[in-house]
Amino acid sequence: MKSRKRAAALSTAAFLSVGLLLTTAAPAHAIPDSCTVNTWGGYGASTCTTGTGEQRINIAYIDRQNQRQLVVGNWAPVGGTSSAYFNGSLHLWWLDKRG
């Protein structure tokens, strides 16, 4: 009889511990994803449609004096648009993301 009570007490304690862990766990954050980028005529824009947090576009370009330049767009939440203007030839672009 004692072993049944002990097993029941241990089982209840384990159940309560798991419940406490589940209720105190921090919410999961997913960085922005499903992003699209468009560049045209000296303008670049990016939008992400899933996840949480913010993203921004970075554009490296070659200016009219043949110098490499960098412009950084605004931080935009998921669903919003980050944009930047550049005056030259597009070299490359990338996104910064933060959750």
Three-class SS state of 23: helix
Whether the predicted model's global pTM rises above the 0.75 cut = no
Which is more confidently placed, 96 or 15? 96
Q: What is the pLDDT of residues 62-71, one digit of tens each?
A: 999 999 999 9
pLDDT at position 30 is 87
Q: What is the pLDDT of residues 3-57, one digit of tens each?
A: 665 555 555 555 544 443 444 445 567 899 999 999 999 999 999 999 999 999 9
Decide the pairing of beta strands 43-50 and 33-40. antiparallel
Three-class SS state of 64: coil
Q: How far is 27 from 6, CA to CA, in rounded Å?
A: 34
pLDDT classification of 86: cutoffs 50, 70, 90:
very high
Q: How far is 63 from 80, CA to CA, in rounded Å?
A: 28
- Six token digits for residue 22: 């589940």
